[in-house]
Amino acid sequence: MKHISLLGATGSIGTQTLDVIRKHPNHFNLSSMSVGRNIELAIQQIHEFSPQLVSVQTRDDYEKLKLEIPNATKVVYGQEGLVEVATDPHSNILVNAVLGSVGLVPTLAAIEEGKAIAIANKETLVTAGHIVTKAANTYNVPLLPVDSEHSAIFQALNGEKINQVERLILTASGGSFRDRTRDQLIDVTVHEALNHPNWSMGAKITIDSATMMNKGLEVIEARWLFDIPYDKIDVVLHKESIIHSMVEYIDGSVIAQLGTPDMRVPIQYALTYPDRIDSISNERLHLWELGSLHFSKLDMERYRCMAFAYEAGRIGGTMPTVLNAANEVAVAAFLDNKLTFLEIENKIEQALERHQAISQPTLEEIISVDQETRAFIHSSIK
Ligand code: NDP
Ligand code: MG
């Protein structure tokens, strides 16, 4: 039986993690969870799963929630609340499905408690990959990928040595606007951008897929999860999202992982690794029904965010922190109709250009650069 702490229970990955737990009550138990502001859904989840600890984002919601749920569930709130859930002494694995770099400090706290980490929250690895991976090594805890591309690479690597890898090949669907030219992106609406062709996901990552920043963040995520240089990470457009990613070895063999696009599969694998259990979904991959799969080269000028991510990753230090923080604020502003779609990348470019990277930053330096970048983007939008 695995006892799970879940950060971001009310989100897209969070609710799908609960689907996996619900389907396999003999394997998994929800020990604790955090939510943001969706208290209504949290109340339903608490009644169904009876976690002994729940964290909410604000003090107001903390007061409200306490009145609505059984006394057996302790309620906490804020950043300390996230850390309390992440370090829950009754759990042995943390599923980090919170959104954004707010997941960094709780992840480090869970690692220091020796918990395995199933990581969906890619912003944490982008903003401070060197710190998170070093801590995981020091405390000898596994970082288990949930992101479908990284789960695919993890499965295709299957324990083989990274120095036998020629390159990792991440697949990218191309997002909501893959069939448009840059000129056709000038006045796209939030509603259009939220319409992803293959995956149903939270709003921020759906926009990141449309700008291709999601793939850029995933390149940096892969660099840290698999300890491999950027020169050995490639991206190929693959519009069906059936091949989730591939590993090319030095002998020319390429190993791919395939499946229908369903995030519950990589979530479940992170929870059961190194074992496998029955799929939650009845849907199986029937290649003959698909007939063909398509691949094309990614154009870095069409998708400028991809180029920014490689550049920030290669400079390293605090540059990826700036990339991520600027993107988080710019995407939130686009969703709030305060920026146009193409202004997202302009804001990120401005933030990167003015920043002098600090190499090997400490956690405090990361947090301070993250906050300073957010403040810069906010002020430049007003
Ligand atoms: P959602 O927006 O659907 O969910 C985010 C979750 O985090 C919600 O529970 C939300 O609470 C909570 N949350 C948001 N901000 C805060 C905050 N400041 N403090 C505390 N809690 C907060 O996101 P997704 O599930 O789509 O994505 C989560 C992570 O997983 C991201 O890092 C994303 O990149 C990654 N990921 C997602 C995939 C997907 O298919 N969705 C695929 C691969 C990776 P509430 O809603 O209650 O306010
Ligand atoms: Mg992904």
ipTM over the 0.85 cut-off: yes
Q: Is residue 323 part of a domain?
A: no
Is 113 inside any structural domain?
yes
Domain that holds residue 37: 2-141
Binding site membership of 145 for ligand 1 (Cβ less than 6 Å): no
How many domains does the chain divide into?
1
Which bound ligand lies closest to the C-alpha atom of 42? Answer: 1
Q: How far apart are CA 120 and CA 198, in angstroms?
A: 18
- The rounded Å distance from CA 13 to ligand 1 centre is 7
CB of 13 shorter than 6 A to ligand 1: yes
Give the number of other CB atoms < 10 A from CB of residue 108. 21
Question: What pTM was computed for the model?
Answer: 0.98
Q: DSSP of 152-163, one letter per residue?
A: HHHHHHTT--GG
Q: Which of 360, 285, 286 is nearest to 320 (CA)?
A: 360
Minimum-distance ligand to the CA of 83?
A: 1
The predicted structure's pLDDT at residue 354: 98
14 Cβ inside 6 Å of ligand 1 = yes
Sign of the Cα pseudo-torsion (69, 71, 74, 78, in order): positive
Any domain includes 372: no
Is 156 part of a structural domain of the chain?
no
Binding residues for NADPH: 10-13, 36-38, 121, 123, 202
Cβ of 144 closer than 6 Å to ligand 1, yes or no, is no
Q: Is residue 218 part of a domain?
A: no
Atom of ligand 1 nearest to the CA of 10: 9
Q: Which residues contact 164 (CB under 8 A, 6 or more apart)?
A: 249, 250
Note whether residue 232 is domain-resident. Answer: no
Q: Check residue 225 and give its pLDDT.
A: 98
> Mean pLDDT for each consecutive 10-residue tract of the chain (382 residues)?
98 98 98 98 98 98 96 97 98 98 98 98 98 98 98 97 97 93 94 90 96 98 98 98 98 97 97 95 92 95 96 98 98 98 98 98 98 98 88
Output the CA–CA distances (angstroms, integers) from residue 42 to 47, 66, 73, 292, 347, in the order listed.
9, 12, 12, 42, 34
Annotated binding site for Mn(2+): 147, 149, 218
Q: Is 123 in the pocket of ligand 1 (CB under 6 A)?
A: yes
**CATH number, position 118:** 3.40.50.720
Is there an atom of ligand 1 within 6 Å of 248 CB? Answer: no
Positive/negative CA dihedral, 362, 365, 371, 376:
negative
Question: Does 300 map to a domain?
Answer: no
| pLDDT for the residue numbered 282 | 83
| Nearby residues for ligand 2 (ion, Cβ within 5 Å) | 147-149
Tokens standing for 325? 């923080």
- Residue 196: predicted pLDDT: 85
Pocket probe for ligand 1: among 205, 207, 327, the residue whose CB has the most ligand atoms within 8 Å is: 205
Q: In this structure, are residues 240 and 178 in contact, taking their beta carbons and an 8 Å threshold? A: no
Phi and psi based region of residue 181 (left: phi greater than 0; alpha: psi -120 to 50; beta: remaining) = beta
Which ranges constitute the DSSP H helices of the chain? 12-23, 39-49, 59-68, 78-86, 104-112, 122-138, 148-157, 190-193, 203-211, 213-226, 264-272, 287-290, 304-315, 319-335, 341-354, 363-381
Angle at which helices 203-211 and 319-335 cross, to 10°? 110
Residue 260: the pLDDT is: 94
In this structure, is residue 11 part of a structural domain?
Answer: yes
